[in-house]
Amino acid sequence: MKKLAVKFIVSIIALASVFTAIQLLKTDHQALTSGEIELILVDESGTVIYEEWITFEEGMTFYDVLQAHFELTCANASYQADDTCSYTFSSFGSSDKVILGIKGTTFELVTDWQHSYLSIYKWDGSEFRLTAQGVMQLVFEDQDRIKIAVEEVW
Amino acid sequence: MALIAILSAILLVQQIALSFLPNVQTTVLLIVLYTKVLGFKKTTLIIMIHVILYNTLSPFGAVIPLHFISMFVGYMIIPISLQTIFKKLKSPLQLASAGLLFGFLYGWAFIPVSVFVLGIPFMTYFLMDLPFEMVMAVSNFLSIYWLYEPLSKLLIVQTAHYYLETK
């Protein structure tokens, strides 16, 4: 009986430790101040179709910034296009949206996830580096330069 | 060979069945069990079969073929370390603690391909993968801690029966 109790306690400690560690790894992806970022959009042929400085407010995520300036198309749970962007992908310690398309007044970027997708790059002072973070997880601040490019799957 | 086929099938089915929960599985528990009961060679063969079948049959398999190698290396760390540096580990708690470590080592086995082939920045990949490694680590710990002992007894009895029947 005592052995079983010890097993339960050790198991609960292990679960609690991992849960706490995952919570601690969560970072604040919302803008800490208001400001502006340079946004560069590149189509499938590598042509820059949009290059402007856009403003954002304190507390916005990068997704909020894009939504405030453009019409977005996101992926739903089965990676189909959804203009309402109502679905949010959730996983351990984070949640995010997958953007398939961005539409402005003079341009439109469209991907379908099966053949093409949008990659996000951030200027590190010398070159644009792939972020490998989604639009709700991307950490950004005033005067950052961010590039979104259409990439082919293969 | 029949024994290896059955144990490979068990390994494959449980991983596919639990695929809807990222990194929650009993694969590491079974590999630890196979290594301890069947030895290094048979476990290596089971891992090879598992990696090929899982990545070709499961929709949750490798994103690119090179991840076959990452997965194989990640799982082979278990029998290799249990036959060398962790050879003296016997109790469920000791093996579960090793399972905790295997959760992280398995995740790190995917770093070279992800960084050098897919071009994902190292630190970003490392940090984004940590929660998944932690989940796998605690999943390994709990499954080994609770199930290693009863499954070990069961497998020893069943393999003894198998060898008696086939002789």
Please report the pLDDT score of residue A92 as a whole number. 67
Residue A32 near chain B (CB below 8 Å): no
What does the alpha-carbon distance between residue B3 and residue B46 come to, in Å, rounded to a whole number? 10
Residue A131 near chain B (CB below 8 Å): yes
Closest residue in A to B128 (Cα–Cα): A133
Other CB atoms within 10 Å distance of the CB of residue B21: 10
| Backbone phi and psi for residue B79, each to the nearest 5 degrees, phi listed first | -65, -35
Which residue out of B135, B144, B146, B149 would a mutagenesis test of the A interface target, given it has the greatest number of A Cβ atoms within 10 Å? B135
Distance from CA of A10 to the nearest CA of B (A): 9
Residue B83 has pLDDT above 70, yes or no: yes
Q: Report the helix count and the strand count for chain A, using DSSP H and E.
A: 2, 11
Distance from CA of B166 to the nearest CA of A (A): 38
Closest residue in B to A133 (Cα–Cα): B124
Helix (H, G, I), strand (E, B) or coil at A149: strand
What does the alpha-carbon distance between residue A36 and residue A33 come to, in Å, rounded to a whole number? 10
Residue B74 has pLDDT above 80, yes or no: yes
Distance from CA of A105 to the nearest CA of B (A): 32
Please report the pLDDT score of residue A30 as a whole number. 86
Which one has a higher pLDDT value, B85 or A2? B85
Interchain pair B145, A132: CB under 8 A: no
Residue A119 near chain B (CB below 8 Å): no
What does the alpha-carbon distance between residue B149 and residue B154 come to, in Å, rounded to a whole number? 9
Residue A21 near chain B (CB below 8 Å): yes
Sign of CA dihedral B150, B153, B159, B165: negative
Please report the pLDDT score of residue B58 as a whole number. 80
Closest residue in B to A95 (Cα–Cα): B128
Chain A, chain B: beta-carbon pairs less than 8 Å apart: 48
Please report the pLDDT score of residue B141 as a whole number. 97
Distance from CA of B112 to the nearest CA of A (A): 15
What does the alpha-carbon distance between residue B12 and residue B58 come to, in Å, rounded to a whole number? 9
Q: Rounded to two decimals, what is the model's pTM?
A: 0.78
pLDDT in tens, chain A (154 residues): 788 899 999 999 999 998 898 888 776 688 999 999 999 999 999 999 999 999 999 999 999 999 999 999 999 998 999 999 999 988 766 788 999 999 999 999 999 998 999 999 999 999 998 887 789 989 899 999 999 999 987 6
Which one has a higher pLDDT value, A93 or B103? B103
Residues of B in contact with A94 (CB under 8 A): 131
Distance from CA of A32 to the nearest CA of B (A): 21
Q: What is the pLDDT of residues B31-70, one digit of tens each?
A: 999 999 999 999 999 999 999 999 988 877 776 888 899 9
